[in-house]
Amino acid sequence: MTLKIVHGWKDLAPEERGAATALGNFDGLHRGHQQVIAEAAKAALALKAPLGVITFDPHPRRLFRPSEPAFRLMTIEQQARVLGGMGVDILYLLPFDFQMASFSDKEFVEQVLVEGLGVKHVAAGFDISFGKGRTGSPEALNAYGRQNGFGVSIAEPVASQAGDKFSSTAVRDALRDGHPETAARILGRPFAIEGVVRRGQQLGRQLGFPTANVEIVDYVVPKLGVYATRTRLPDGRVVPGVANLGNNPTTGMVETRLETWLFDFDEDLYGQVIETQLIAFLRPELKFDGIELMIEQIRLDEAQARAIVAPGF
């Protein structure tokens, strides 16, 4: 069954209601989030109900702190793709607006979850909070479930064997510190930036290493520098490479972008959507005294990246 995206909670079709659901922000869909969705999946199987995920778009932080720097770990498209791979049937994108923000925890449950979505079960994390003033808690959710006839399960806190706390904040911190491997352990997969390939200065092509340039629009910005990468193309192929995430201080400052050199690849990607995984941080972004020095360093970066993401090439 293909994942269905439902925008909103009012006037839904009968087939869009009655799911066993996981409730949360789910930015990044890290392994803690996956635990919550697994609880919902157990209920869906037992109840013979669709498996749903309830989240908010935009993220509540966007409404309350609009001037904050971008912080998202994935786009809605990436989120939907990962959820579809997990067997989720319905993704409910609830508009987080001033009406939603004004609901008490009781009103949110009664108007959105019960009247709107007709939930049969709600799974949530151990630290769930909901409703105006974030007054809703796991205990409150359990009580509302008993009052309104839906099941509730609360996922226990989990952490990796390396001691990594499974949270979106921990992922952001790891990325900002230049530790994509730590982020990947928490996420259960590498962090990836998706976007449309834009035309740049095309200097790389002239110098022998053409790059696919993607602007960093609404993502958390990882540590600026050079990364070993793997890029998924629109046709599903995955190509190893090396990328500079930054502002191009040597050849002319630009808005923060990801410029990826795909190894042994020479096809036109302009206007296409690609997704690039940051596998390993190689070095900080540098300003070189000349083009020759930059080329020399890029060749060193290439060799280091190939050893990590393209051994044998």
Instruction: Quick: pLDDT tens for 236-248.
Output: 999 999 999 998 7
- 168-309: same fold as 4-155? no
Q: Tens digit of pLDDT for each residue in 275-294?
A: 999 999 999 988 887 788 88
Across the range 298-304, mean pLDDT stands at 95
Q: What radius of gyration do the chain's Cα atoms show?
A: 22
Ranges of each domain in the chain:
4-155, 168-309
Right CATH number for 168-309 from 3.30.70.100, 2.60.40.1180, 2.40.30.30, 3.40.50.300? 2.40.30.30
The yes-or-no verdict on residue 234 having pLDDT over 90 is yes
Residue pair 4/91 in contact by the 8 Å Cβ criterion:
yes
Nearest C-alpha neighbor of 38 from the set 125, 111, 109: 125
pLDDT score at 269:
94
Range of weakest confidence among 44-48, 68-72, 82-86, 172-176: 68-72
Q: What's the mean per-residue pLDDT of the chain?
A: 91
Query: Phi and psi (nearest 5°) for 226?
Result: -110, 135
Task: For the chain, give the secondary structure using H, E and C.
Answer: CCCEEEECCCCCCHHHCCCEEEECCCCCCCHHHHHHHHHHHHHHHHHCCCEEEEEECCCHHHHHCCCCCCCECCCHHHHHHHHHHCCCCEEEEECCCHHHHHCCHHHHHHHHHHHHCCCCEEEEECCCCECHHHCECHHHHHHHHHHHCCEEEEECCCECCCCCECCHHHHHHHHHCCCHHHHHHHHCCCCEEEEECECCCCHHHHHCCCCEEEECCCECCCCCEEEEEEEECCCCCEEEEEEEEECCCCCCCCCCEEEEEECCCCCCCCCCEEEEEEEEEEEECCCCCCHHHHHHHHHHHHHHHHHHHCCCC
Give dist(CA 12, CA 20) in Å, integer.
16
Higher-pLDDT residue of 67, 203: 67
pTM here is 0.90
Buried b (16+ CB within 10 A) or exposed e, 151-166: bbbbbeeeeeeeebeb
β 151-155/121-125 pair status: parallel
Residue pair 176/223 in contact by the 8 Å Cβ criterion:
yes
pLDDT score at 145:
98
Right CATH number for 4-155 from 3.40.50.620, 3.90.330.10, 3.40.190.10, 3.90.1150.10? 3.40.50.620
Q: Tens digit of pLDDT for each residue in 129-144?
A: 999 989 999 999 999 9
